[in-house]
């Protein structure tokens, strides 16, 4: 059996931490290697300081809203710090950016929730579903308000563009509302996952690890 070191962390945990940092740095390098920093600096230089400040403020507000949403949802079941729920959100968004599909991050959300908060699989599935529904509904509602401003109110969008944007953002609103309205049936998915967990535990020697 591996003995923990003086800091209270086993060599295995240190190895996992090092691997996580290497993966994060590798992904960061992969993203920034194609950036033309000269063109980026020139483009930012053409913007007014007010616009840059507004973009940074909106971005910060978005992060705070996402962290707060997970914090409220998770703390409805277990005690979790804001830092923990922020990690949950950032890991999910990281998967979204690495894999070219937003569905990828949401599909691993139950796994991430269970890893960082220790909730049961059934609860993790329910929390992930509610978060997805809220995100889609809020995203769609915000987008529709922007479409309304640039469309009927100011007339900056042509009829064709307005129709396309209303349809695409309406899908978000409809999907989010559908998930939230059917939230009472999330227990069905939860029971299915719980049953799968029980089945995995029957696998000899590695069953407990598979069940998480």
Quickly list DSSP for the chain: -PPP-TTS--HHHHHHHHHHHHHHHHHHHHHHTT--HHHHHHHHHTS-HHHHHHHHHHHHHHHHHHHHHHHHHHTTTS---HHHHHHHHHHHHHHHHHTT-HHHHHHTHHHHHHHHH---HHHHHHHHHHHHHHHHHHHHHHHHHHHHIIIIIT--S-HHHHHHHHHHHHHHHHHHHHHHHTGGGHHHHHHHHHHHHHHHTTSTTTHHHHH-
Which range, 4-8, 60-64, 162-166, is most confident? 60-64
Measured CA to CA, the distance from residue 113 to residue 123 in angstroms comes to 9
Mean of pLDDT over the chain: 76
Q: Indicate whether this model's pTM tops 0.75.
A: no
Reported as a single tens digit per residue, the pLDDT across 31-60 is: 788 788 888 888 878 888 898 899 899 899
Main-chain phi, psi angles of 34, to 5 degrees:
-95, 5
pLDDT band at 8 (very low <50, low <70, confident <90, very high): low
Indicate whether 177 pLDDT > 50: yes
**Where do the structural domains in the chain lie, given as residue ranges?**
50-211
Identify the CA nearest to 112 among candidates 83, 135, 97, 90: 90
pLDDT at 83: 92
């Amino acid at each position: 059996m591996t003995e923990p070191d003086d800091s209270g962390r086993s060599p295995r945990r240190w190895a996992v931490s090092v691997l996580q940092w290497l993966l994060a740095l590798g992904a960061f390098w992969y993203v920034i290697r194609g950036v033309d920093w000269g063109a980026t600096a020139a483009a930012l230089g053409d913007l007014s300081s007010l616009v840059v400040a507004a973009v940074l403020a909106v971005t910060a507000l978005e992060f705070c809203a996402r962290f707060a949403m997970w914090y409220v949802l998770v703390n409805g079941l277990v005690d979790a710090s804001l830092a923990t729920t922020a990690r949950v959100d950032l890991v999910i968004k990281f998967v979204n950016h690495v894999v070219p599909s937003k569905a990828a991050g949401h599909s691993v959300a139950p796994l991430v929730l269970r890893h960082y908060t220790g909730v049961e699989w059934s609860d993790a599935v329910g929390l992930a579903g509610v978060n997805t529904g809220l995100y889609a509904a809020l995203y769609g509602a915000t987008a529709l308000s922007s479409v309304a401003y640039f469309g009927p109110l100011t007339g900056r969008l042509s009829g064709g563009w307005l129709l396309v944007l209303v349809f695409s953002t309406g899908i978000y609103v409809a999907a989010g509302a559908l998930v939230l309205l059917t939230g009472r049936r999330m227990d069905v998915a939860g029971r299915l996952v719980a049953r799968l967990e029980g089945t995995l535990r029957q696998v000899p020697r590695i069953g407990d690890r598979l069940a998480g």
